[in-house]
Chains A and B, each alone.
Chain A
Amino acid sequence: MEVKIDDPILIQRYIAGDERALEALINRHNQRISSFIYSKVNDRGITEDIFQDTFIKVIRTLKRGTYNEEGKFLPWVMRIAHNLIIDHFRKNRRMPMYTGGDSFNIFSVMGDEKLNIESQLIKDQIDCDLTALIEELPVDQREVLMMRIYKDMSFKEISENTGVSINTALGRMRYALINLRKIINENNIVLTN
Protein backbone atom coordinates (compact mmCIF):
# COMPACT_ATOMS: atom_id res chain seq x y z
CA MET A 1 0.00 0.00 0.00
CA GLU A 2 1.30 3.41 -0.98
CA VAL A 3 1.50 5.99 1.79
CA LYS A 4 0.54 9.49 0.74
CA ILE A 5 2.93 12.04 2.17
CA ASP A 6 1.48 15.53 2.63
CA ASP A 7 2.76 18.48 0.63
CA PRO A 8 4.35 20.35 3.58
CA ILE A 9 6.43 17.30 4.45
CA LEU A 10 7.52 16.83 0.84
CA ILE A 11 8.49 20.52 0.72
CA GLN A 12 10.54 20.17 3.89
CA ARG A 13 12.28 17.11 2.47
CA TYR A 14 12.98 18.89 -0.80
CA ILE A 15 14.42 21.93 0.99
CA ALA A 16 16.56 19.49 2.99
CA GLY A 17 17.98 18.15 -0.29
CA ASP A 18 15.72 15.24 -1.24
CA GLU A 19 15.17 15.68 -5.00
CA ARG A 20 12.65 12.82 -5.10
CA ALA A 21 10.29 14.93 -3.01
CA LEU A 22 10.12 17.44 -5.89
CA GLU A 23 9.33 14.66 -8.33
CA ALA A 24 6.48 13.55 -6.07
CA LEU A 25 5.14 17.10 -5.84
CA ILE A 26 5.28 17.66 -9.61
CA ASN A 27 3.63 14.33 -10.39
CA ARG A 28 0.94 14.88 -7.78
CA HIS A 29 -0.09 18.29 -9.11
CA ASN A 30 0.90 17.95 -12.77
CA GLN A 31 -2.61 17.37 -14.11
CA ARG A 32 -4.37 20.03 -12.05
CA ILE A 33 -1.82 22.73 -12.85
CA SER A 34 -1.53 21.77 -16.53
CA SER A 35 -5.32 21.68 -16.95
CA PHE A 36 -5.64 25.05 -15.22
CA ILE A 37 -3.06 26.60 -17.61
CA TYR A 38 -4.60 24.89 -20.63
CA SER A 39 -8.07 26.15 -19.72
CA LYS A 40 -6.73 29.71 -20.05
CA VAL A 41 -4.35 29.48 -23.01
CA ASN A 42 -5.97 26.67 -25.04
CA ASP A 43 -2.66 25.60 -26.53
CA ARG A 44 -0.69 22.55 -25.46
CA GLY A 45 2.71 23.96 -26.41
CA ILE A 46 2.16 27.18 -24.45
CA THR A 47 0.79 25.11 -21.55
CA GLU A 48 4.06 23.16 -21.42
CA ASP A 49 6.08 26.40 -21.49
CA ILE A 50 4.08 28.04 -18.70
CA PHE A 51 4.09 24.84 -16.63
CA GLN A 52 7.88 24.71 -16.95
CA ASP A 53 8.33 28.39 -16.05
CA THR A 54 5.98 27.97 -13.10
CA PHE A 55 8.03 25.15 -11.61
CA ILE A 56 11.32 26.93 -12.31
CA LYS A 57 9.98 29.73 -10.07
CA VAL A 58 8.82 27.17 -7.50
CA ILE A 59 12.23 25.47 -7.46
CA ARG A 60 14.14 28.75 -7.12
CA THR A 61 11.89 29.99 -4.32
CA LEU A 62 12.14 26.72 -2.38
CA LYS A 63 15.92 26.50 -2.82
CA ARG A 64 16.39 30.11 -1.79
CA GLY A 65 14.47 29.35 1.39
CA THR A 66 11.98 32.17 0.85
CA TYR A 67 8.89 29.95 0.74
CA ASN A 68 6.63 30.61 3.71
CA GLU A 69 3.13 29.52 2.73
CA GLU A 70 2.91 26.38 4.79
CA GLY A 71 0.09 24.06 3.90
CA LYS A 72 -0.94 26.04 0.82
CA PHE A 73 1.43 24.67 -1.78
CA LEU A 74 -1.07 24.12 -4.61
CA PRO A 75 -2.81 27.54 -4.38
CA TRP A 76 0.63 29.17 -4.30
CA VAL A 77 1.75 27.31 -7.45
CA MET A 78 -1.57 28.13 -9.12
CA ARG A 79 -1.02 31.81 -8.37
CA ILE A 80 2.45 31.70 -9.96
CA ALA A 81 0.95 29.98 -13.02
CA HIS A 82 -1.85 32.55 -13.13
CA ASN A 83 0.65 35.43 -13.11
CA LEU A 84 2.68 33.79 -15.89
CA ILE A 85 -0.51 33.33 -17.96
CA ILE A 86 -1.21 37.06 -17.58
CA ASP A 87 2.38 37.83 -18.62
CA HIS A 88 1.91 35.58 -21.65
CA PHE A 89 -1.23 37.43 -22.80
CA ARG A 90 0.35 40.84 -22.16
CA LYS A 91 3.35 39.89 -24.26
CA ASN A 92 1.13 38.54 -27.03
CA ARG A 93 -0.96 41.71 -27.12
CA ARG A 94 2.22 43.68 -27.82
CA MET A 95 3.42 41.15 -30.36
CA PRO A 96 0.38 39.31 -31.75
CA MET A 97 1.27 36.05 -33.42
CA TYR A 98 -0.97 34.52 -36.05
CA THR A 99 -0.71 30.84 -36.62
CA GLY A 100 -2.71 28.76 -39.03
CA GLY A 101 -4.75 25.70 -38.23
CA ASP A 102 -5.58 22.79 -40.50
CA SER A 103 -8.32 24.73 -42.25
CA PHE A 104 -6.71 28.14 -42.52
CA ASN A 105 -3.18 29.31 -43.04
CA ILE A 106 -2.40 33.02 -42.78
CA PHE A 107 0.38 32.62 -45.38
CA SER A 108 -2.18 31.62 -48.00
CA VAL A 109 -3.57 35.17 -47.98
CA MET A 110 -0.37 37.11 -47.37
CA GLY A 111 3.17 36.81 -48.57
CA ASP A 112 6.24 38.87 -49.23
CA GLU A 113 6.90 40.66 -52.48
CA LYS A 114 10.08 38.77 -53.22
CA LEU A 115 10.33 36.11 -55.90
CA ASN A 116 11.18 32.63 -54.78
CA ILE A 117 14.57 31.18 -55.71
CA GLU A 118 13.30 29.44 -58.85
CA SER A 119 11.47 32.52 -60.16
CA GLN A 120 14.50 34.68 -59.39
CA LEU A 121 16.76 32.32 -61.40
CA ILE A 122 14.33 32.41 -64.34
CA LYS A 123 14.11 36.21 -64.16
CA ASP A 124 17.91 36.52 -64.10
CA GLN A 125 18.16 34.25 -67.14
CA ILE A 126 15.52 36.29 -69.03
CA ASP A 127 17.30 39.55 -68.16
CA CYS A 128 20.55 38.08 -69.42
CA ASP A 129 18.97 36.83 -72.69
CA LEU A 130 17.22 40.16 -73.23
CA THR A 131 20.48 42.09 -72.77
CA ALA A 132 22.06 39.94 -75.49
CA LEU A 133 19.06 40.56 -77.80
CA ILE A 134 19.18 44.33 -77.23
CA GLU A 135 22.83 44.28 -78.36
CA GLU A 136 21.56 43.10 -81.76
CA LEU A 137 19.49 46.28 -82.30
CA PRO A 138 20.73 49.23 -84.37
CA VAL A 139 22.57 51.80 -82.19
CA ASP A 140 19.96 54.58 -82.37
CA GLN A 141 17.11 52.22 -81.41
CA ARG A 142 19.16 50.55 -78.69
CA GLU A 143 20.04 53.95 -77.21
CA VAL A 144 16.39 55.02 -76.92
CA LEU A 145 15.28 51.65 -75.50
CA MET A 146 18.05 51.64 -72.89
CA MET A 147 17.18 55.18 -71.79
CA ARG A 148 13.46 54.45 -71.59
CA ILE A 149 13.49 51.00 -69.95
CA TYR A 150 16.69 50.84 -67.92
CA LYS A 151 17.17 54.53 -67.04
CA ASP A 152 13.44 55.26 -66.76
CA MET A 153 13.76 58.53 -68.71
CA SER A 154 10.76 60.27 -70.29
CA PHE A 155 10.64 60.69 -74.09
CA LYS A 156 11.16 64.43 -73.54
CA GLU A 157 14.39 63.73 -71.66
CA ILE A 158 15.45 61.19 -74.30
CA SER A 159 14.89 63.69 -77.09
CA GLU A 160 16.93 66.30 -75.22
CA ASN A 161 19.75 63.83 -74.61
CA THR A 162 19.91 62.39 -78.10
CA GLY A 163 19.24 65.67 -79.98
CA VAL A 164 16.24 64.30 -81.89
CA SER A 165 12.55 65.25 -81.70
CA ILE A 166 10.17 63.48 -79.33
CA ASN A 167 8.40 61.90 -82.30
CA THR A 168 11.67 60.47 -83.62
CA ALA A 169 12.47 59.07 -80.18
CA LEU A 170 8.98 57.52 -80.02
CA GLY A 171 9.46 56.06 -83.49
CA ARG A 172 12.86 54.58 -82.58
CA MET A 173 11.37 53.02 -79.47
CA ARG A 174 8.55 51.51 -81.54
CA TYR A 175 11.00 50.06 -84.07
CA ALA A 176 13.25 48.80 -81.27
CA LEU A 177 10.33 46.78 -79.83
CA ILE A 178 9.24 45.54 -83.29
CA ASN A 179 12.79 44.43 -84.09
CA LEU A 180 13.19 42.73 -80.72
CA ARG A 181 9.98 40.75 -81.32
CA LYS A 182 11.19 39.88 -84.81
CA ILE A 183 14.55 38.55 -83.48
CA ILE A 184 12.72 36.57 -80.81
CA ASN A 185 10.30 35.03 -83.35
CA GLU A 186 12.96 34.27 -85.94
CA ASN A 187 15.15 32.49 -83.43
CA ASN A 188 12.28 30.74 -81.62
CA ILE A 189 13.38 32.22 -78.30
CA VAL A 190 11.01 31.72 -75.37
CA LEU A 191 11.05 34.40 -72.68
CA THR A 192 8.60 33.60 -69.92
CA ASN A 193 8.49 33.69 -66.16
Chain B
Amino acid sequence: MEKIYNKKQENSKIVKAKPETVSFLLNYSKSLKITKVKGMTFESNMN
Protein backbone atom coordinates (compact mmCIF):
# COMPACT_ATOMS: atom_id res chain seq x y z
CA MET B 1 0.00 0.00 0.00
CA GLU B 2 1.17 3.50 -0.78
CA LYS B 3 2.25 5.77 2.04
CA ILE B 4 -0.42 8.06 3.34
CA TYR B 5 0.85 11.56 3.77
CA ASN B 6 -2.31 13.34 4.77
CA LYS B 7 -2.06 12.42 8.46
CA LYS B 8 -4.27 14.66 10.54
CA GLN B 9 -2.31 17.12 12.60
CA GLU B 10 -3.42 18.27 16.01
CA ASN B 11 -4.35 21.96 15.88
CA SER B 12 -2.72 22.92 19.12
CA LYS B 13 0.47 21.79 20.77
CA ILE B 14 -0.53 23.18 24.15
CA VAL B 15 -1.58 20.11 26.05
CA LYS B 16 -2.96 19.92 29.55
CA ALA B 17 -4.32 16.96 31.45
CA LYS B 18 -8.10 17.16 31.71
CA PRO B 19 -9.72 18.42 34.93
CA GLU B 20 -11.19 14.90 35.33
CA THR B 21 -7.69 13.42 35.42
CA VAL B 22 -6.53 16.01 37.98
CA SER B 23 -9.66 15.36 40.04
CA PHE B 24 -9.03 11.60 39.91
CA LEU B 25 -5.47 12.12 41.15
CA LEU B 26 -6.62 14.34 44.03
CA ASN B 27 -9.24 11.78 45.05
CA TYR B 28 -6.68 8.99 44.76
CA SER B 29 -4.33 10.95 46.98
CA LYS B 30 -7.05 11.55 49.59
CA SER B 31 -8.03 7.88 49.66
CA LEU B 32 -4.48 6.52 49.85
CA LYS B 33 -3.27 5.73 53.34
CA ILE B 34 0.26 4.53 54.04
CA THR B 35 0.92 2.80 57.33
CA LYS B 36 4.34 1.81 58.61
CA VAL B 37 4.53 -0.99 61.14
CA LYS B 38 7.88 -2.33 62.36
CA GLY B 39 9.73 -1.30 59.22
CA MET B 40 7.04 -2.64 56.91
CA THR B 41 4.95 -0.30 54.76
CA PHE B 42 1.29 -1.01 54.11
CA GLU B 43 -0.78 0.79 51.52
CA SER B 44 -4.54 0.97 51.78
CA ASN B 45 -7.05 2.66 49.57
CA MET B 46 -10.13 3.91 51.43
CA ASN B 47 -12.44 4.41 48.52
Contacts and interface: CB of A to CB of B under 8 A. Distances in A.
Interface of A: 19, 22-23, 26-27, 30-31, 33-35, 37-39, 42, 44, 47-48, 51-52, 55-56, 59-60, 63-65, 101-104, 109
Nearest to A43: B10
B15 A55 contact: no
A39 B8 CA distance: 16
Interface of B: 1, 4, 6-8, 10, 13-18, 21-22, 24-26, 28-30, 32, 34, 41, 43
Contacts of A65: 34
Contacts, number: 69
Contacts of B8: 101-103
Contact of A44 (B10, B26, B41): B10
B15 A47 contact: yes
Q: Is the interface of A mostly helix, strand, loop or mixed?
A: helix
Given A101-B7, A102-B8, A59 B17 contact: no
A90 B34 CA distance: 31
- For the complex of A and B, 9 pairs with smallest distance between CB atoms: A38-B15, A34-B15, A51-B17, A63-B34, A55-B25, A59-B29, A35-B15, A31-B16, A34-B17
A104 B6 CA distance: 10
A36 B14 CA distance: 10
